[in-house]
A and B are shown apart, each in its own frame.
Chain A
Amino acid sequence: DAKTTQPNSMESNEEEPVHLPCNHSTISGTDYIHWYRQLPSQGPEYVIHGLTSNVNNRMASLAIAEDRKSSTLILHRATLRDAAVYYCILRDYTGANSKLTFGKGITLSVRP
């Protein structure tokens, strides 16, 4: 199974940009990169996904390295509400590997 690695934690100041990295050196050509976040005492929620090109939505941006072996979730202006655990996972779009594993994620703290 392709796996991802993330730092355990990061800190940010409120209203500043945050770059959350994820390494996936064994990514296959059919893997989408997904990001989820989990607020305290809640279930994880979907943030963004991408395959090769950078992606933007109302929550965040996803920058994908040219070789696809790493990606970065970008929060353009961190708010206190963005303090959460962020997970990066790979999802095979063919459905060949349905065993989705999450790992520990990266805990983001936001300072006022």
Chain B
Amino acid sequence: NAGVTQTPKFRVLKTGQSMTLLCAQDMNHEYMYWYRQDPGMGLRLIHYSVGEGTTAKGEVPDGYNVSRLKKQNFLLGLESAAPSQTSVYFCASSSLPGQGSSYNSPLHFGNGTRLTVT
């Protein structure tokens, strides 16, 4: 049971280059999230998705695009990387929230992608 898998684990880009970060989950979760983490800033939400084919903006969406073409995958794209996008990126997924005994929707996180933009 792999859970949430992020690829790549590390990447160095030059300013202006593009790349795509892949998040894959094998738990049949509806909800998926992309966060970035910078020193002293905690986790900040970039984009999220509540189902296949849907995406929404989070707290810091500028400079990023996302796609959820398949339920199990959530892609984060950087079209023109900037040094300010140097960060650790975390993906998370969860099932639908519910109430009472049906409630079982904690977030499951990947191990992160460390991106450096020079």
Contacts and interface: CB of A to CB of B under 8 A. Distances in A.
A75 to B, nearest CB: 18
B74 interface: no
Contacts, number: 69
Interface in A69-112: 85, 87, 91-95, 98-105
Interface residues of A, number: 24
Classify the secondary structure of A's interface with B. loop
Interface residues of B, number: 30
B90 A99 contact: no
B95 to A, nearest CB: 10
B97 A43 contact: no
Interface of B: 4, 31, 33, 35, 40-45, 48, 50, 56, 58-59, 90, 92, 96-99, 103, 105-112
A44 B96 contact: no
Given A87-B42, A94-B97, A101-B45, 18 more contacts: A34-B107, A43-B4, A43-B90, A43-B111, A44-B109, A46-B106, A91-B97, A93-B98, A93-B99, A94-B99, A98-B31, A98-B50, A98-B56, A99-B56, A101-B58, A101-B59, A102-B42, A102-B44
B100 to A, nearest CB: 9
Given A44-B107, A44-B109, A45-B109, A95 B96 contact: yes
Contacts of B44: 101-102
Interface in A30-88: 32, 34, 36, 42-46, 49, 85, 87
A35 B29 CA distance: 20
Nearest to B104: A49
User: Which of A87, A92, A94, A95 has the most CB atoms of chain B within a 10 A radius of its CB?
Assistant: A95
